[in-house]
Amino acid sequence: MAGYPSRWVVAAALVGVMGAGAVACGGGGDGPGAKAGDAASALSSAAVQASDLWASASAEADRKLDEIKGVNAKNEVTLGEPATGDDGRTAVEVEVRNTADSAKSFAVQVNFTDADGQLHDAVVVTVADVAAGRTGKGTARSAHQLSGEVSAKVGRAVRY
């Protein structure tokens, strides 16, 4: 499934360009202009499917975090700078600070967004057994290939 959201965005853009060209070519009847409705319908379908994929990733991350009973720890998480590897997947270092008086584990939802703040992927990373008063590190890696400018933000974090 790697790369499918990016492919849907490219497909949607191509369908949009083709649709605009068909509208510009004019007409009614069975000519090129008649295909504009089909292109617009395909664009809408592709956009909905891409949106559904990203919503699904976020929902799965939420579901995983909902299963964990713990304390909100979003303020105890720091993210590094995202970097895209040769495989097109983006990774970011996750650092957690354990302010509790005993060893704790953390589950952190990392949201990968584009320059406009649109969600493109969401993953959950676990940093286990961080000693009291210490920091622990992990790496969040996108489940899909991401292109363009990618930002990483903490969606949710639980200390347990």
> pLDDT tens for residues 40-85?
444 444 444 445 555 565 666 667 767 777 899 999 999 999 999 9
Q: φ, ψ for residue 132 (rounded to 5)?
A: -55, 135
- Name the helix (H) or strand (E) containing 24: helix 4-24
- Name the helix (H) or strand (E) containing 37: helix 36-66
- Residue pair 50/147 in contact (Cβ under 8 Å)? The answer is no
Residue 160 CA to residue 155 CA, distance in Å, equals 17
Of 143, 114, 141, give the one whose Cα is nearest residue 9.
114
C-alpha 100: how far from chain center: 30
Inform me whether the pLDDT recorded for 15 exceeds 70: no
Inform me whether the pLDDT recorded for 25 exceeds 60: no
